[in-house]
C-alpha cells in the first residue's frame, strides 16, 4: 500500500524513530492500517532512560492547560479502553482527579473552565471538604479542589508494551537497541541511517522525546530536555493512600506545582514537583542518580500537605521532561518536508495523550492530514524557521 500519491514506497511505508510513549502508539496505529511499519528504538522496550518510566502517569479530563485538549482526551480515553480490551491488560486505574489551588489560580480556574465548557461531571470542594472526604489531603485552608471522577492513572511501561504487542501482531517490524544516526529526504520519501543499517520509507515519524534536537537541530530551542525527580514515601497510614481512597492530584502551593498518586506497586505515596530544580540538561549526560538535594522539596510538600504519608523514603528516580516555550506539544509535519512528522508531546503532561497522538501521527504520516483539531500544537505558532534534515 502506498503512503501518499507519488510517494516513494521504499522498503517500508513508514518508519517511526523512538518506540517510547508516542512512537509505540504511532507504530500500533500505522501497522493496524495495513501500512508496512518499522519502529526503531535505541534502548530497550520499554526502558528507564527517557520520559515514559516510573510506573504511573496521571490522566485527567479537567484540563486547566487549555480546553482544546479536552476533545483529544475524550478520544484518548476511548483508545486506552480499546487497547485494554484488545491486549487483555489492565492499563488505566480510575481514582478520580483533584485539581487544587488558590481560588483565582489557573489549576483550579482552568480545570473548572474546561469542565463547564465541555459539560464534564465535577464537584468543587473546599479544603476542609476535601480532607473530610479524602483524609490523606491537608491543603491550605483557602484552597479549592475540583474533583473530576473519570480520570486516574495509566501504567506507562505496560501501555508501551501493549501498543508494541498490538503493532507486532499487525505485522510491524520493531527493533530495539538500534540507534538512528540521521535521516535525509529522497524525493517524496526518506532514507534513515542507523548503527545497523539503512532503510527507506514513504514517510518518517520522529518521536525521539528528549533526543528530538539530535534529529531535527532546528527544534533545539523548542524542545528542551529538563531533569525531573519522582519520590515515593511510605505512608504512616497506608489505608489513606490506597487507590480507592486517594484521587491523583495537581496542586499549586506557594512552593510550586506538585502532582501525585496513591500507593501503587512501589510501596509508597508518589509525588513530583513540576520543573523540579529547573535543570536544563543534555539527555546523554546528566545526573541520573537522585540525591538528598532532590528529595528535599518533595519531602517538604509531603510533610506539609500529606502528613499521613510522611514515612521513610522508598524510592527516588529521575526522568526527563522535554519542554516547549509555551508548554503546549509540538505535533506537525515539517514545513520543508511534509513526509516527515514530528511529535514532541511532553512539557510534562503528554503521556495521557499517547493513544490519540498515535492516531494523529498515523494520520499525518499516511495522508499529511488529520481529522483531530491540533491547531494549538502546530509548529507555525513559533517564529518561522527553516527546518532541514539532521
Ligand atoms: C517525571 C515525569 C512525570 C510525568 N508525569 C506525567 C503525568 O502524570 N501525566 C502525563 O500525561 N504525562 C506525564 N509526563 C510526561 C510524559 O511522560 C511524556 O509526555 C511522555 O513520556 C513523552 O513520550 P515520548 O514518546 O515523547 O518520549 P519517550 O517515551 O522518552 O520516547 C522517546 C524514545 O525515543 C528514543 N530515541 C531517541 N533518540 C533515538 C534515536 N536516535 N534512535 C532510536 N531511538 C531514539 C528514546 O530512547 C525513547 O525511547 C511526565 C514526565 C516525566 C518525566
Mean pLDDT of 50-65: 97
| Catalytic residue (one of 275, 299, 372, 378) | 275
pLDDT at 384: 54
The model's pLDDT over 303-348, given as tens digits with 9 standing for 90+, comes to 999 999 999 999 999 999 999 999 999 999 999 999 999 999 999 9
| Catalytic residue (one of 27, 115, 159, 319) | 319
Is-catalytic flag, 366?
Answer: no
Cα 54 to ligand 1 centroid, rounded to whole Å: 11
Lowest mean pLDDT among 56-70, 75-89, 123-137, 376-390: 376-390
Average pLDDT, the chain: 95
Residue 4 has pLDDT above 60, yes or no: no
Lowest mean pLDDT among 3-12, 158-167, 187-196, 372-381: 3-12
Is-catalytic flag, 275?
Answer: yes
Residue 178 has pLDDT above 80, yes or no: yes
How does residue 11 score in pLDDT terms, banded at 50, 70 and 90?
A: confident
pLDDT at 188: 93
The radius of gyration computed from the CA coordinates of the chain, to the nearest angstrom, equals 21
| Catalytic residue (one of 270, 276, 317, 366) | 270
Ligand 1 atom at minimum distance from 228 CA: 1
How does residue 383 score in pLDDT terms, banded at 50, 70 and 90?
A: confident
How does residue 389 score in pLDDT terms, banded at 50, 70 and 90?
A: low
pLDDT at 5: 36
Cα 290 to ligand 1 centroid, rounded to whole Å: 18
Residue 379 has pLDDT above 60, yes or no: yes
Q: Residues enclosing ligand 1, CB less than 6 A?
A: 17-23, 40-43, 49-52, 54, 57-58, 179-180, 207-209, 211, 228, 230, 259, 272, 319-321, 345-346, 348-352
The model's pLDDT over 189-205, given as tens digits with 9 standing for 90+, comes to 999 999 999 999 999 99
Q: Which residues contact 201 (CB under 8 A, 6 or more apart)?
A: 3, 8, 10, 11, 12, 13, 14, 15, 38, 189, 190, 192
Ligand 1 atom at minimum distance from 194 CA: 42
Amino acid at each position: 500500500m502506498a503512503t501518499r500519491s507519488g510517494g516513494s514506497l521504499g522498503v517500508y511505508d513508514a518508519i517511526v524513530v523512538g518506540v517510547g510513549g508516542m512512537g509505540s502508539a504511532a507504530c500500533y496505529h500505522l501497522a493496524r492500517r495495513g501500512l508496512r511499519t518499522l519502529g526503531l528504538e535505541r534502548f530497550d522496550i520499554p526502558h528507564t532512560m527517557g520520559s515514559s518510566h516510573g510506573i504511573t502517569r496521571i490522566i485527567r479530563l479537567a484540563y486547566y492547560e487549555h480546553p482544546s485538549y479536552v476533545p483529544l482526551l475524550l478520544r484518548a480515553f476511548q483508545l486506552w479502553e480499546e487497547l485494554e480490551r484488545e491486549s487483555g491488560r489492565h492499563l488505566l486505574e480510575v481514582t478520580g482527579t483533584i485539581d487544587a489551588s488558590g481560588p483565582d489560580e489557573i489549576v483550579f480556574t482552568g480545570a473548572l473552565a474546561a469542565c463547564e465548557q465541555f459539560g464534564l461531571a465535577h464537584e468543587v470542594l473546599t479544603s476542609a471538604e476535601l480532607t473530610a472526604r479524602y483524609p490523606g489531603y491537608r491543603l491550605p485552608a483557602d484552597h479549592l479542589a475540583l474533583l473530576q471522577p473519570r480520570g486516574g492513572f495509566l501504567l506507562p511501561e505496560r501501555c508501551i508494551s501493549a501498543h508494541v504487542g498490538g503493532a507486532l501482531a499487525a505485522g510491524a517490524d520493531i527493533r530495539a537497541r538500534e540507534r538512528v544516526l540521521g535521516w535525509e529526504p529522497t524525493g517524496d520519501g526518506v532514507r534513515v541511517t542507523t548503527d545497523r543499517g539503512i532503510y527507506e520509507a514513504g514517510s518518517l515519524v520522529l518521536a525521539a522525546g528528549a533526543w528530538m534536537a539530535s534529529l531535527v537541530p532546528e527544534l533545539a530551542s523548542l524542545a528542551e530536555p529538563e531533569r525531573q525527580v519522582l519520590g515515593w514515601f511510605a505512608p504512616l497510614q497506608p489505608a489513606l493512600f490506597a487507590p480507592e481512597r486517594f484521587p491523583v492530584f495537581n496542586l499549586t502551593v506557594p512552593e510550586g506545582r506538585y502532582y501525585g498518586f496513591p500507593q501503587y506497586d512501589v510501596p509508597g505515596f508518589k509525588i513530583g514537583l513540576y520543573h523540579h530544580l529547573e535543570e536544563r540538561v543534555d539527555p546523554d549526560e546528566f545526573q541520573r542518580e537522585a540525591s538528598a538535594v532532590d528529595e528535599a522539596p518533595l519531602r517538604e510538600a509531603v510533610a506539609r500537605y500529606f502528613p499521613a504519608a510522611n514515612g521513610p523514603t522508598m524510592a527516588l528516580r529521575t526522568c526527563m521532561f522535554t519542554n516547549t516555550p509555551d508548554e503546549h506539544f509540538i505535533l506537525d509535519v515539517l514545513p520543508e518536508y511534509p513526509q516527515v512528522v514530528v511529535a514532541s508531546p511532553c512539557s510534562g503532561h503528554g503521556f495521557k495523550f499517547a493513544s490519540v497522538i498515535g492516531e494523529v501521527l498515523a494520520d499525518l504520516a499516511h495522508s499529511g492530514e488529520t481529522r483531530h483539531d491540533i491547531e494549538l500544537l502546530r509548529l507555525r505558532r513559533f517564529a518561522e524557521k527553516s527546518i532541514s534534515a539532521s
